[in-house]
Structure 1
Amino acid sequence: MKKLFVAALMLMTVLSTLGAQAQTKSKLEQDLEDFRAWMNKRVSQGDSITRAEWPVIKQEFRTRTQSLDRNSSQMSEASKQEYGELKTRYNEWEAEKEESYGDPLNRETAAAWERRLAGTNKIGQLKASQLRGAFVRFMENVRAQRTDWSLRDWDYAEHVYLLLSDRKQQVISQMSNSDKMKVAALQLEFNTLRKSRDAKDRYNQMREQR
């Protein structure tokens, strides 16, 4: 009887281990699939990625690869090869973007732009009921000041825009439908203005290179 109990216990342990390994493998496969999709999406964005967005993208890469790096020994050989190729592709892409974007934003200057455009350095603490007013103020300032902005100024303006947009996503479930629609319209306006400026600068660069 005792031998049967020990055998049953050993069988349960083996099955539990196999089950855990299967779950880990399945999670790794899903993480690799998600990483592949993320890479394809980001690379396909091309020149539409701005300097202000770049630090966020680099952090996304680190977050997505942490688990994969830690458990890469449990991948199949085919998955290991694919993962290595994806990371090499990313590193080449990052080197290209770093060369294009140059110096990162200055923290003190960024804080000054937050006050200048949004009226606060505590965007991350804005309540849902305050988001509409913050976006309205931001876009009023953008409209009034943008004609004198350099490309670097646009980077700081977009930094403020991204902070406001991140806060919106955090509290969107608490916002009224009216506020959601108004903020979405203002977001669309900002992105249109930014892309228009980017297109103008790329055109000027092409003319200078002829």
Structure 2
Amino acid sequence: MKQLIWAGVLAAGALLTACDSTPRERQDMVKEEARKLDTAVDEAAAKLRVAGRRAARFDSVSKSRSRQPLDKAAETAFTNELLGTYAAIETLTPATIEPAFVQFMQQVRARRKQWTQRDWDYATSISRRLNAQFRNIRLDIKGRDELHIRALQTEFTALETGRDVKDLGEAVKQP
């Protein structure tokens, strides 16, 4: 109720102010406010152009990086670090695939904050290999293990996407 009263008071005040000015004065005030809006719009457009260029540059660098082949030795080392005893992905069985995913995600969670985008490329490669092995033996995996693996796959995708979004946001903000 108080809000309605204040709105009425403000509207009445605006009408009284309009009565105390000439049409030319009101026209000048409108022109000045339009200039202020134009300036604000121009500044916002300039910021958007800069952010767009930075986003495009980030995307270009990201695509260029992803086209570079992964170093096999580094990938093997990364696989050993993340999977430990489960590093021989292609030999994982229905009994060992779920613990391999658990090991993988434990390591991803522990290390992800220090990773560069290239580290994520290696982790994504390992994830793809795990997923391929999962598809190969899926029909022999227990239902509860399959559900757990699917949850871990989803978590990995969410973490990776979150990192991409964070990096893009930082790239757009950079001076």
TM-score (norm 2): 0.61
1:101 to partner: Cα distance? 2.7
2:71 partner amino acid: N
Q: Deviations over 1:95-130 (max 9, x none)?
A: x98635352110000011111111244101111110
> Cα gap change, 1:133/1:100 in structure 2, threshold over 3 Å: closer, same or farther?
closer
Residue 178 in structure 1 maps to residue 130 in structure 2: no
Q: State the identity %.
A: 31
Moved segments of 4+, more than 3 Å? 96-100
Asked if structure 1 preserves the Cα contact closer than 8 Å seen for 2:78 and 2:122, the reply is yes
Residue segments in structure 1 that go unaligned for 5+ positions in a row: 1-95
**1:28-177 equivalent positions in 2, closer than 5 A:** 99=64, 101-119=66-84, 120-177=86-143
Q: What is the aligned residue count? A: 115
Greater Cα radius of gyration, structure 1 or 2: 2
> Cα gap change, 1:102/1:173 in structure 2, threshold over 3 Å: closer, same or farther?
closer
RMSD: 2.0
1:103 partner amino acid: Q
> Cα gap change, 1:100/1:149 in structure 2, threshold over 3 Å: closer, same or farther?
closer
- Give 3-state SS (helix, strand or coil) of 2:68's partner: coil
Asked if structure 1 preserves the Cα contact closer than 8 Å seen for 2:65 and 2:118, the reply is no
Q: Distance in 2 between matches of 1:123 and 1:104?
A: 20
TM-score (norm 1): 0.51
